[in-house]
């Protein structure tokens, strides 16, 4: 059951685009020409490929990176606050000791 539930490696990825002249699967959809026979790749549309990644998706991917950054920033801020407060405390203590 468990093994059957595991999906096989998607074979549809290779079958997505095949060369019109040689019929081989196009490894690179963005490549303007076939890697095997050099025929023009009808599926190759670099500009549309760029548009395939909408800004909404990029925004959706960003929050994954933000928590790490924010936590790191928090830690840096804590360190900064701690160092500043420690220096202030030490300065105050120093003045107190001097007096």
Smallest distance from Zn ion to CB 41, Å: 8
Smallest distance from Zn ion to CB 29, Å: 13
Q: Please classify residue 25 by burial: count the beta carbons closer than 10 Å to its beta carbon, then call 0-12 exposed, 13-18 middle and 19+ buried.
A: middle
* Residue from 27, 56, 52, 31 nearest 41 by CA: 31
Among 28, 37, 52, 84, binds Zn ion (CB under 5 A): 37
| Separation CA 99–CA 37 (nearest Å) | 88
Q: Is the dihedral of CA 49, 51, 54, 55 positive or negative?
A: positive
Total residue length of the chain: 99
Q: Which is nearer to Zn ion, 29 or 36 (CB)?
A: 36
Binding mask 7-36 for Zn ion (x = CB under 5 A): ------------x--x-----------x-x
Among 29, 31, 39, 44, binds Zn ion (CB under 5 A): 39
Smallest distance from Zn ion to CB 55, Å: 34
- Give contact residues for Zn ion (rule: CB under 5 A): 19, 22, 34, 36-37, 39
């Amino acid at each position: 059951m468990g093994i059957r539930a595991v999906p096989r490696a998607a074979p549809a990825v290779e079958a997505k685009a095949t060369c019109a002249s040689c019929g081989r699967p196009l490894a690179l959809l963005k490549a303007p020409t076939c890697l095997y026979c050099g025929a023009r790749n009808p599926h190759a549309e670099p500009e549309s490929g760029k548009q395939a990644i909408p800004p909404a998706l990029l925004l959706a991917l960003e929050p994954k990176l933000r928590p790490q950054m924010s936590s790191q920033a928090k830690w840096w801020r804590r360190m900064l606050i701690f160092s500043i407060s420690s220096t202030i405390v030490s300065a105050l203590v120093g003045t107190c000791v001097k007096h």
